[in-house]
Amino acid sequence: MQLNESVVRWNTEPKATRNIWIRMKQHRWSILAFICGVILTLVLVVPGMVAKSSFPEKNDQAGYIFSLRFDRKSTHSLLFLSDDNTVLANSFTKETPNPVKHPEQFNNYVGTIGDRYFTSTSKLYFEIKFSYEILKYLNSTDLVFEVGVASREKIDSHHYVGTHGWSFFIHNCTTNICLRAQHGTTNTYEEVKIISSSSTVGTVTTGRLGFFVNMNRNEFSVIDKDSSKILYTLKKVVSADQLCLAFGVYNHRYLETKLEIMYSYDFTNLPIINVVA
Protein backbone atom coordinates (compact mmCIF):
# COMPACT_ATOMS: atom_id res chain seq x y z
CA MET A 1 0.00 0.00 0.00
CA GLN A 2 2.62 2.50 1.08
CA LEU A 3 4.90 1.32 -1.68
CA ASN A 4 2.24 1.95 -4.32
CA GLU A 5 1.45 5.39 -3.00
CA SER A 6 5.11 6.41 -2.98
CA VAL A 7 5.66 5.16 -6.53
CA VAL A 8 2.68 7.14 -7.81
CA ARG A 9 3.90 10.28 -6.11
CA TRP A 10 7.36 9.85 -7.66
CA ASN A 11 5.91 9.40 -11.15
CA THR A 12 3.84 12.56 -10.97
CA GLU A 13 7.00 14.62 -10.50
CA PRO A 14 7.72 16.51 -13.77
CA LYS A 15 10.38 14.67 -15.69
CA ALA A 16 11.99 17.56 -17.61
CA THR A 17 13.53 19.85 -15.06
CA ARG A 18 15.30 23.07 -16.01
CA ASN A 19 16.80 23.55 -12.63
CA ILE A 20 16.86 20.40 -10.61
CA TRP A 21 17.99 22.19 -7.43
CA ILE A 22 15.08 24.63 -7.45
CA ARG A 23 12.75 21.73 -8.10
CA MET A 24 14.23 19.76 -5.25
CA LYS A 25 13.77 22.75 -2.96
CA GLN A 26 10.14 23.17 -4.05
CA HIS A 27 9.43 19.52 -3.56
CA ARG A 28 11.55 18.88 -0.53
CA TRP A 29 8.56 17.80 1.51
CA SER A 30 7.38 15.35 -1.15
CA ILE A 31 10.91 14.00 -1.47
CA LEU A 32 11.21 13.71 2.29
CA ALA A 33 7.82 11.98 2.39
CA PHE A 34 8.96 9.60 -0.34
CA ILE A 35 12.15 8.71 1.54
CA CYS A 36 10.15 8.20 4.74
CA GLY A 37 7.72 6.05 2.76
CA VAL A 38 10.54 3.85 1.50
CA ILE A 39 12.03 3.50 4.97
CA LEU A 40 8.64 2.73 6.51
CA THR A 41 7.97 0.19 3.77
CA LEU A 42 11.26 -1.55 4.46
CA VAL A 43 10.72 -1.51 8.22
CA LEU A 44 7.04 -2.52 8.27
CA VAL A 45 6.16 -4.46 5.15
CA VAL A 46 9.24 -6.57 4.58
CA PRO A 47 9.31 -8.30 8.00
CA GLY A 48 5.57 -8.91 7.56
CA MET A 49 6.22 -10.60 4.23
CA VAL A 50 8.98 -12.70 5.74
CA ALA A 51 6.70 -13.75 8.61
CA LYS A 52 3.88 -14.56 6.18
CA SER A 53 6.09 -16.65 3.92
CA SER A 54 6.43 -19.21 6.69
CA PHE A 55 2.66 -19.61 6.81
CA PRO A 56 0.75 -21.44 4.08
CA GLU A 57 -1.03 -19.35 1.46
CA LYS A 58 -4.78 -18.99 1.78
CA ASN A 59 -5.40 -21.53 -1.00
CA ASP A 60 -3.01 -24.04 0.51
CA GLN A 61 -4.75 -23.71 3.89
CA ALA A 62 -7.82 -25.47 2.51
CA GLY A 63 -5.89 -28.73 2.63
CA TYR A 64 -5.45 -28.40 6.40
CA ILE A 65 -9.07 -27.82 7.37
CA PHE A 66 -10.40 -30.28 9.91
CA SER A 67 -13.66 -30.23 11.75
CA LEU A 68 -13.23 -29.44 15.42
CA ARG A 69 -16.45 -29.89 17.40
CA PHE A 70 -17.61 -29.62 21.00
CA ASP A 71 -17.84 -33.04 22.60
CA ARG A 72 -21.51 -33.69 23.29
CA LYS A 73 -21.21 -36.45 25.88
CA SER A 74 -18.91 -34.41 28.17
CA THR A 75 -21.03 -31.25 28.07
CA HIS A 76 -22.31 -30.01 31.45
CA SER A 77 -26.07 -30.25 32.04
CA LEU A 78 -26.46 -26.44 32.35
CA LEU A 79 -25.35 -25.92 28.75
CA PHE A 80 -26.90 -26.28 25.28
CA LEU A 81 -25.48 -27.35 21.93
CA SER A 82 -26.36 -26.84 18.29
CA ASP A 83 -27.33 -29.87 16.21
CA ASP A 84 -23.85 -30.02 14.65
CA ASN A 85 -21.97 -29.43 17.96
CA THR A 86 -20.28 -26.23 16.74
CA VAL A 87 -22.22 -23.82 18.99
CA LEU A 88 -22.15 -23.97 22.78
CA ALA A 89 -24.40 -21.68 24.83
CA ASN A 90 -25.60 -21.24 28.40
CA SER A 91 -29.22 -20.84 27.35
CA PHE A 92 -31.77 -22.48 25.12
CA THR A 93 -31.91 -20.68 21.75
CA LYS A 94 -33.06 -21.53 18.24
CA GLU A 95 -29.42 -22.14 17.36
CA THR A 96 -28.71 -24.20 20.50
CA PRO A 97 -31.84 -26.30 21.11
CA ASN A 98 -30.08 -29.32 22.62
CA PRO A 99 -29.74 -29.73 26.38
CA VAL A 100 -27.34 -32.54 27.29
CA LYS A 101 -28.10 -35.52 29.49
CA HIS A 102 -25.35 -38.10 29.39
CA PRO A 103 -23.89 -40.42 32.06
CA GLU A 104 -20.36 -39.23 31.22
CA GLN A 105 -21.11 -35.50 31.29
CA PHE A 106 -19.12 -33.12 33.51
CA ASN A 107 -20.49 -32.36 36.95
CA ASN A 108 -18.09 -29.59 38.02
CA TYR A 109 -16.59 -28.22 34.83
CA VAL A 110 -19.28 -25.89 33.41
CA GLY A 111 -18.30 -26.58 29.86
CA THR A 112 -17.07 -29.27 27.55
CA ILE A 113 -13.97 -30.45 25.71
CA GLY A 114 -13.01 -30.41 22.05
CA ASP A 115 -13.52 -33.68 20.18
CA ARG A 116 -9.80 -33.85 19.32
CA TYR A 117 -7.05 -34.80 21.81
CA PHE A 118 -3.46 -33.61 21.45
CA THR A 119 -0.38 -35.60 20.61
CA SER A 120 3.16 -34.39 21.31
CA THR A 121 3.35 -32.94 17.79
CA SER A 122 -0.14 -31.40 17.40
CA LYS A 123 -0.35 -27.95 15.81
CA LEU A 124 -3.98 -26.91 15.78
CA TYR A 125 -5.45 -23.51 14.97
CA PHE A 126 -9.11 -22.63 15.46
CA GLU A 127 -11.25 -19.54 15.55
CA ILE A 128 -14.02 -18.83 18.02
CA LYS A 129 -16.82 -16.34 17.54
CA PHE A 130 -18.26 -15.29 20.88
CA SER A 131 -21.17 -13.19 21.99
CA TYR A 132 -22.48 -12.33 25.42
CA GLU A 133 -25.05 -10.08 27.01
CA ILE A 134 -24.60 -9.04 30.62
CA LEU A 135 -27.97 -9.43 32.35
CA LYS A 136 -26.96 -8.75 35.96
CA TYR A 137 -24.08 -7.43 38.05
CA LEU A 138 -20.87 -9.45 37.73
CA ASN A 139 -18.12 -9.36 40.33
CA SER A 140 -14.51 -9.98 39.33
CA THR A 141 -14.67 -13.70 40.10
CA ASP A 142 -17.73 -14.33 37.93
CA LEU A 143 -16.49 -15.76 34.63
CA VAL A 144 -18.03 -15.12 31.22
CA PHE A 145 -16.31 -17.86 29.21
CA GLU A 146 -13.05 -19.73 28.96
CA VAL A 147 -10.99 -21.39 26.23
CA GLY A 148 -8.31 -23.54 27.76
CA VAL A 149 -6.02 -26.53 27.57
CA ALA A 150 -6.17 -29.04 30.40
CA SER A 151 -5.45 -32.57 31.48
CA ARG A 152 -8.42 -34.78 30.59
CA GLU A 153 -8.19 -36.39 34.02
CA LYS A 154 -8.21 -33.14 36.00
CA ILE A 155 -10.68 -31.12 33.97
CA ASP A 156 -13.82 -32.04 35.94
CA SER A 157 -12.18 -31.24 39.28
CA HIS A 158 -13.10 -27.55 39.05
CA HIS A 159 -15.54 -25.22 37.23
CA TYR A 160 -12.70 -23.76 35.11
CA VAL A 161 -9.17 -24.89 34.20
CA GLY A 162 -7.16 -21.77 35.18
CA THR A 163 -5.99 -23.27 38.48
CA HIS A 164 -4.46 -26.48 37.07
CA GLY A 165 -4.42 -25.97 33.28
CA TRP A 166 -3.83 -23.13 30.82
CA SER A 167 -6.73 -20.73 30.44
CA PHE A 168 -7.78 -17.67 28.48
CA PHE A 169 -10.98 -16.35 30.06
CA ILE A 170 -13.19 -13.27 30.05
CA HIS A 171 -14.35 -11.57 33.25
CA ASN A 172 -15.15 -8.19 34.84
CA CYS A 173 -11.85 -6.33 35.37
CA THR A 174 -13.76 -3.58 37.29
CA THR A 175 -13.60 -0.74 34.69
CA ASN A 176 -13.93 -2.99 31.63
CA ILE A 177 -14.54 -6.56 30.54
CA CYS A 178 -11.18 -8.12 29.72
CA LEU A 179 -9.51 -11.24 28.42
CA ARG A 180 -7.06 -12.74 30.88
CA ALA A 181 -4.43 -15.49 30.70
CA GLN A 182 -4.07 -17.79 33.69
CA HIS A 183 -1.91 -20.75 34.61
CA GLY A 184 -2.30 -21.48 38.30
CA THR A 185 0.79 -23.55 38.95
CA THR A 186 3.14 -20.80 37.66
CA ASN A 187 1.10 -17.93 39.17
CA THR A 188 0.46 -16.51 35.69
CA TYR A 189 -2.44 -14.06 35.84
CA GLU A 190 -2.16 -11.47 33.05
CA GLU A 191 -4.61 -9.07 31.46
CA VAL A 192 -4.38 -9.70 27.70
CA LYS A 193 -6.96 -7.47 26.04
CA ILE A 194 -9.91 -5.21 26.80
CA ILE A 195 -12.91 -6.90 25.21
CA SER A 196 -15.42 -4.14 25.92
CA SER A 197 -14.72 -0.82 27.58
CA SER A 198 -18.19 -0.78 29.05
CA SER A 199 -18.66 -3.08 32.01
CA THR A 200 -22.24 -2.17 32.83
CA VAL A 201 -25.30 -4.37 32.93
CA GLY A 202 -26.90 -4.52 29.46
CA THR A 203 -23.58 -4.61 27.60
CA VAL A 204 -23.77 -6.80 24.49
CA THR A 205 -20.48 -7.83 22.91
CA THR A 206 -19.49 -10.01 20.00
CA GLY A 207 -16.01 -10.78 18.77
CA ARG A 208 -13.61 -13.32 17.35
CA LEU A 209 -10.48 -14.81 18.78
CA GLY A 210 -8.02 -17.25 17.23
CA PHE A 211 -6.26 -19.94 19.25
CA PHE A 212 -3.14 -21.87 18.34
CA VAL A 213 -1.93 -24.95 20.19
CA ASN A 214 1.60 -25.91 19.23
CA MET A 215 2.56 -29.05 21.17
CA ASN A 216 5.90 -29.17 19.37
CA ARG A 217 6.80 -26.02 21.28
CA ASN A 218 4.44 -26.68 24.21
CA GLU A 219 2.67 -23.38 23.62
CA PHE A 220 -0.90 -22.17 23.62
CA SER A 221 -1.52 -18.73 22.07
CA VAL A 222 -4.46 -16.40 21.66
CA ILE A 223 -4.58 -14.37 18.44
CA ASP A 224 -6.41 -11.10 17.82
CA LYS A 225 -8.51 -11.44 14.69
CA ASP A 226 -8.58 -7.66 14.07
CA SER A 227 -4.81 -7.24 13.93
CA SER A 228 -3.72 -10.86 13.25
CA LYS A 229 -1.30 -10.47 16.15
CA ILE A 230 -0.47 -12.99 18.82
CA LEU A 231 -1.81 -11.38 21.99
CA TYR A 232 -0.36 -13.80 24.52
CA THR A 233 1.36 -17.19 24.63
CA LEU A 234 1.12 -19.54 27.57
CA LYS A 235 4.32 -21.61 27.62
CA LYS A 236 5.42 -24.96 29.01
CA VAL A 237 2.11 -26.61 28.21
CA VAL A 238 3.20 -30.07 29.37
CA SER A 239 1.41 -32.81 31.24
CA ALA A 240 1.87 -36.48 32.02
CA ASP A 241 -1.84 -36.98 31.27
CA GLN A 242 -3.73 -36.63 28.02
CA LEU A 243 -4.26 -32.94 27.17
CA CYS A 244 -7.43 -31.62 25.58
CA LEU A 245 -9.20 -28.37 24.73
CA ALA A 246 -11.60 -26.99 27.34
CA PHE A 247 -14.50 -24.62 26.68
CA GLY A 248 -16.42 -23.15 29.61
CA VAL A 249 -19.54 -20.98 29.46
CA TYR A 250 -20.56 -19.61 32.86
CA ASN A 251 -23.18 -17.89 34.97
CA HIS A 252 -26.38 -18.46 33.05
CA ARG A 253 -28.22 -16.35 35.64
CA TYR A 254 -26.14 -13.24 34.85
CA LEU A 255 -25.14 -13.76 31.24
CA GLU A 256 -26.39 -15.00 27.91
CA THR A 257 -23.26 -16.33 26.24
CA LYS A 258 -22.53 -18.27 23.07
CA LEU A 259 -19.33 -19.73 21.61
CA GLU A 260 -19.10 -20.90 18.03
CA ILE A 261 -16.23 -22.76 16.40
CA MET A 262 -15.87 -20.98 13.05
CA TYR A 263 -13.10 -23.04 11.48
CA SER A 264 -10.06 -25.05 12.43
CA TYR A 265 -6.84 -26.10 10.79
CA ASP A 266 -4.55 -28.98 11.57
CA PHE A 267 -0.98 -27.91 10.75
CA THR A 268 0.63 -30.88 12.50
CA ASN A 269 2.46 -32.01 9.37
CA LEU A 270 3.68 -28.53 8.52
CA PRO A 271 7.00 -27.17 9.82
CA ILE A 272 5.60 -23.70 10.58
CA ILE A 273 6.81 -21.42 13.31
CA ASN A 274 4.66 -18.29 12.95
CA VAL A 275 0.94 -18.02 12.63
CA VAL A 276 -0.53 -15.15 10.66
CA ALA A 277 -4.16 -16.11 10.39
Q: How many residues bind ligand NAG (CB under 6 A)?
A: 11
CB of 65 to ligand NAG, least distance (A): 37
- The residue range among 51-59, 99-107, 117-125, 135-143 that interacts with ligand NAG, by the rule CB under 6 A, is 135-143
Confirm or reject binding of residue 107 to ligand NAG (CB under 6 A): no
Residue 138 vs 243, nearer CB to ligand NAG:
138
Confirm or reject binding of residue 174 to ligand NAG (CB under 6 A): yes
Q: How far apart are CA 33 and CA 30, in angstroms?
A: 5
How do beta strands 87-89 and 219-224 pair? unpaired
Q: How far apart are CA 8 and CA 23, in angstroms?
A: 18
What is the distance of C-alpha 175 from the center of its chain? 22
- Residue by residue, DSSP assigns 174-241 as SSSEEEEEEEGGGTEEEEEEEEES--STT-EEEEEEEEEEETTTTEEEEEETTTTEEEEEE-----SS
* Residues 207, 132 contacting (CB under 8 angstroms): no
3-class state of residue 20 by DSSP: helix
Confirm or reject binding of residue 92 to ligand NAG (CB under 6 A): no
Residue 30 vs 203, nearer CB to ligand NAG:
203
Confirm or reject binding of residue 191 to ligand NAG (CB under 6 A): no
> In this chain, which of 79, 87, 128, 134 binds ligand NAG, going by CB under 6 A?
134
CB of 174 to ligand NAG, least distance (A): 4
Confirm or reject binding of residue 141 to ligand NAG (CB under 6 A): yes
Confirm or reject binding of residue 139 to ligand NAG (CB under 6 A): yes
Confirm or reject binding of residue 199 to ligand NAG (CB under 6 A): yes
Strand partners, 136: none
Q: How far apart are CA 160 and CA 167, in angstroms?
A: 8
Confirm or reject binding of residue 142 to ligand NAG (CB under 6 A): yes
Amino acid at 98: N
> In this chain, which of 79, 124, 138, 215 binds ligand NAG, going by CB under 6 A?
138
CB of 197 to ligand NAG, least distance (A): 12
* Chain positions contacting ligand NAG, by CB under 6 A: 134, 137-139, 141-142, 172, 174, 199-201
